[in-house]
Structure formats: structure tokens, C-alpha cells
Amino acid sequence: MAQVTVIGSINYDILSTMERAPKAGETVNGQTVQLMPGGKGLNQAVAARQQGVPVSFVGKVGQDMFGDRILSFFAEKGIDATHVGRSADEATGSALILVDATAENRIVVIPAANKQIVPADADGLTVSPGDILVSQFEVPRTTIAALFARGRAAGARTLLNAAPALDDAPDSLWTDTDILVVNETELGHFAGVELSGDAAVADIAATARRLLRRPDQVIIATLGVRGALAVTTDSETLVPGRKVVAVDTTGAGDCFVGSLSARLAAGDDLATAMRYANVAASIACTRIGTGTAMPVVEEVRAAL
């Protein structure tokens, strides 16, 4: 089986639930607080590993107790952390997450050691044809570009989750991305248009096509409860969403990306992998947390 390699961010999350988030200058009572592994890269890696495919990780943590906990967490999950380094002068990344009663979240991310990931951190990494390389915009874009170029040269496929929406990525990164995954807000940002939350599928597809750099590229727009839309130069595939009672949507997008990557590595076609990833993400929404909320393969198959 091909493997998934994630070049990504690692954070330790401090997640608090409350009836509603405070306004500026206001204090509100919280309900719960949890400390748990997170970061978009880690979340996506765990989501992929929970689906039974081999996963390796390229990243960085600090010389602190949170770094120790992250490495132990990777070991528990069976994720190869050979290429997770330890910064000499930066702490492990962290995130402050507020989740209100409607499952909406507000997040502050402190990148810390994630800023120091460089291409040399992947020296010795084995990449084979059919592997899936995954990354997001919580780590240096120049590093992603270098490793995506290396991966494509080795016959791997590259999947970029361009979140958060930042504009300092090298042009080569967009060209070397085989599958780009964005939500509606991110899609509108990169295309230079404003998309409403209920934009027509035809408008979303037309907007996505503006981002295509190669005839064989795929743009996937995640649409929340409406599902996900895959667009190429001459086709559109809409996979419907699955309605659930959500309690925390924080890691849903990461669950989609990780599960999609896993199924592609396992040999599924794109539409089948998208349907699977949509169901996995819907399950993650029913749980509090991020890296610890990703469903296992048996749960997803049962829901399918």
C-alpha cells in the first residue's frame, strides 16, 4: 500500500467550551477546558492513520513537555515521526480554541517551532510512486514547495490544503499541487472574488477553475453541510454532505483532508475517496477536539 506523508504543523491545543464567546473586553464563564494534540498537520496525519494506511510526518516540536507528549502521541497512533525534529530555541506550537454552543469556533494559533521546518528536515525520507504528500499553510510555504517538487519527481501525488488563506506561497507550489483543497472562503480569497455561504454550485465551480494551473489538476471546494465539489478543466463532481448534530467543527476540514488522502493512497478513485472523507468529517463534528476526535475506519464504514 502507498503511504501518506504529511509535511505539517504540530500544536498543543487548549480548547474551551462555553455558551457563547466573549465580546471585546468581556469575560464569560466557560464550561470545560481540555489540553490535547492538534495543529492542522497533526490532525490530518491522525485522520489518515485512523483509516489504516501508513503515515509519516515531517515537522518540528520544541524541547518541552508538550513536544514530549506529541512524540508519545505519534507513537501511540503508529505514525512514523522519524522526521519530526526538535527546535533548540522555539517552543512547541500551540492554539487557543473557543467553541460555543452552536459548535462555532474561534482560534488563535502560535506557530513557534512550526516556523522552523526546512526541506532538510525531510532528508532521507522515502517517497514512492503512488504516495500522497499532504501539506497546509501553517508551515513555511517555501518548504512545502521544495518537498512537493521532490515528491512529484518521485512519482507521488501532492495534496495542498491552502489554509489558512495566505498569499506568500511560491508560484511553483501552485503548479506542483495535484489536488488543492479549500473551503468557500479560501477559494474566494485566492480567486479574488467574494463567495457567499450559499453561492450556487455553478458559481463555485467557475471560481475554482480560475485557480487551475495544469490541465490535470483538481480543485476541491469543501462546502460544509452541502458536501464537497471537485472541479477539473472539463468536469464537476459534487458529493453531498451528511447531516449530523455538530458539537465542534474545529477539526472537520482536517479530517476530510486526511481521510481523502488515505483513501487515495489505498487506491480509491477521487469521487469514492471524497464520499468517504465527507462521512469521516461528519463524524468528527460530533466530538469535541481535533487530533483526538478523528474516527477509525470501522466507524466510517458503518456510517457509509
| CB proximity list for 73: less than 8 A, separation 6 or greater | 37, 291
For the annotated catalytic residues, the residue numbers are 254
**Which of 251, 195, 256, 252 lies closest to 230 in space, CA to CA?**
256
Cell of 147: 518537498
Separation between Cα atoms, residue 49 and residue 47, nearest integer Å: 6
**Which of 100, 116, 98, 118 lies closest to 108 in space, CA to CA?**
98
Separation between Cα atoms, residue 94 and residue 14, nearest integer Å: 8
Separation between Cα atoms, residue 80 and residue 58, nearest integer Å: 9
Beta bridge partners of 84: 59
Separation between Cα atoms, residue 219 and residue 64, nearest integer Å: 38
Contact 125, 54 (CB under 8 A): no
